[in-house]
Amino acid sequence: MTIREADALARGRLSDRRYYHTQCVAKAARELAPRFGADPDSAELAGYLHDIFKEESDDVLLKTMGASDIISDKDLAKKHALWHAFAAAEYAAAKLGMPAEICDAIRYHTSGRDGMTPLDKTLFLADYISEDRKYDDCVKVRKTAEENVDKALIEGLRYTIAELLERNAVIDTRTLDAYNSCVREI
């Protein structure tokens, strides 16, 4: 699949607002990729595909994820906010033939994971700091990313964890593992 085809797929599946976000993430991913040592084309492609299931119903998400064993994941079963990422990754692998590296970046773009690859880090941070995001934490992380992408990634994970704690929400263990892994790397 080409970047142009991924862009067209996203445009066809998403509302104007979500498509604009997707364009912003794809742009940010292309720009961040060299700083993490990731391939810019793969990063942009993952950016266009990362939210293609964001506006689907739970039934569609469950059906799409049903081909894998992820429904047995106790954290994921309760974290509907992560379903779109896992469904998009399954779709990208099964229907689009995307390489595992791109599918994994899509799968973990919201939660992160232990031992994130350069592409995982690129897409996670691009989604967090894309220019359409205006909340205070995002602006701070975007500023940090201008100087040090690794520190920005840790800040983004820290803000994500703090926000979930504030809401008394379940924190996916992958997010905690991602934070710990990134801190250990630095």
Please give the domain boundaries of the chain with CATH numbers for all domains: 3-185 (1.10.3210.10)
Check residue 41 and give its pLDDT. Answer: 98
Check residue 62 and give its pLDDT. Answer: 78
**CA neighbor of 54 nearest in space, from 78, 83, 77, 94:** 83
Q: Would you place residue 5 in the very low, low, confident or very high pLDDT band (cuts 50, 70, 90)? A: very high
Q: Tell me the C-alpha distance between 104 and 63, whole Å.
A: 19
- SS3 for 99? coil
Are 134 and 162 in contact, with CB atoms under 8 Å apart? Answer: no
Check residue 67 and give its pLDDT. Answer: 55
Percent of the chain with pLDDT over 90: 81
Check residue 79 and give its pLDDT. Answer: 62
- What is the pTM (predicted TM-score) of this model? 0.92
Q: Name the residue type at position 2.
A: T
Q: Tell me the C-alpha distance between 176 and 180, whole Å.
A: 6
How many angstroms separate the Cα of 66 from the Cα of each of 9, 88, 124? 22, 12, 24
Residue with tokens 């992380």: 141
Computed over every residue of the chain, the mean pLDDT equals: 92
Check residue 53 and give its pLDDT. Answer: 93
Check residue 162 and give its pLDDT. Answer: 96
Are 85 and 47 in contact, with CB atoms under 8 Å apart? Answer: no
62-107: per-residue pLDDT in tens? Answer: 787 775 555 555 556 556 778 899 999 999 999 999 999 999 999 9
Confidence check: pLDDT of 2 > 90: yes
Q: Tell me the C-alpha distance between 55 and 25, whole Å.
A: 16
Check residue 70 and give its pLDDT. Answer: 55
Check residue 186 and give its pLDDT. Answer: 85
Least confidently predicted of 11-20, 29-38, 144-153, 165-174:
165-174
For residues 144-165, average pLDDT: 96
Q: Would you place residue 61 in the very low, low, confident or very high pLDDT band (cuts 50, 70, 90)? A: confident
For residues 58-64, average pLDDT: 80
